[in-house]
Amino acid sequence: MAFAGVDIGAQSAKAVILNDGAIAGYAILPTGSDVARVSDRVMKQALKKCGLPATKLERVVATGYGRMAATFANSAVTEITCHAEGASFLVPGARTVIDIGGQDSKVIKIDDKGRVLDFVMNDKCAAGTGRFLEVIAMVLKLKLADLGDISLSSNEAAKISSVCTIFAESEVVSLRAEGKLTEDIIAGVHHSVARRVVAMGSRIGYQLPVVFSGGVAKNIGVRRALEQELGMEITVPAEPQIVGAVGAALIAARQAGAEKAARQRAALPS
């Protein structure tokens, strides 16, 4: 049986198809301004990749900030719950999830079944998010995707003291004027992001295995900065952007099973 999860984030939309308990296909698209349209497009692309028609889907669950725009979904679930479920599925035994997306960051503590025990979230400030890194990339006139590899050449990360994106941008401009190496500035930015996220998560604590999800998890520099700040090894799934959508698809399967069981009980003679 096939189930789907769609995660409409601020920066990207993701859809995952589960078929017989395994990931059959997925798609990722920029969210853009038309959230309803992109939710439909990303679902169709995911179905096309695994060669399934929409009629084969038993149930669809939507998550993410734009989840209500996915009108084809049977239900909507918070992204905290979906990221916990998805991380536990992709990294069995996971206990902590660090998710850094385009507009927010969160740390989630989970149990051995992927259930949320506690979480903290930053959704009010761009610092410590993908948007922060986008701004720095623009200031340095670099591609966002190149920041991670460039930072690996650093021998001494520059000190970025500002916790506000606007002030950090000015600080980066000043560091360039002082002649600081680009790789050292970027490494400093990565450590600034890591310190902010680690400090936020310290309120609930970290337990291994730690899973890093979200688009920023593709940045090797941020991953290494997080490991250094935490003093722990971090696991990044093969495609960290689909963790929430995977969780949504798993929840869709569970909801369908619960509904089927309820119908069977109702059909029993009293």
Give the pLDDT of the chain (270 residues) as one tens digit per residue: 899 999 999 899 999 999 999 999 999 999 998 999 999 999 999 999 999 999 999 999 999 999 999 999 999 999 999 999 999 999 999 999 999 988 889 999 999 999 999 999 986 676 678 888 998 999 999 999 999 999 999 999 998 876 666 777 788 888 988 999 999 999 999 999 999 999 999 999 999 999 999 999 999 999 999 999 999 999 999 999 999 999 999 999 999 988 877 777 787 776
- Amino acid 138: pLDDT: 92
- Amino acid 270: pLDDT: 62
Distant-in-sequence contacts of 120-123, Cβ < 8 A, 24+ apart: 120/200, 120/201, 120/203, 120/204, 121/80, 122/196, 122/197, 122/200
- Amino acid 163: pLDDT: 64
Nearest alpha-carbon partner for 244 in 62, 74, 121, 115: 62
- Amino acid 176: pLDDT: 87
- Amino acid 170: pLDDT: 83
- CA–CA separation, 96 vs 226, rounded Å? 13
- Amino acid 263: pLDDT: 78
Is the four-CA dihedral 91, 246, 243, 65 of positive or negative sign? Answer: negative
- Is the Cβ–Cβ distance between 140 and 146 less than 8 Å? no
- Amino acid 129: pLDDT: 81
In DSSP terms, which residues pair with 76 in a beta bridge?
62
- Is the Cβ–Cβ distance between 78 and 65 less than 8 Å? no
- Amino acid 162: pLDDT: 65
In DSSP terms, which residues pair with 213 in a beta bridge?
99
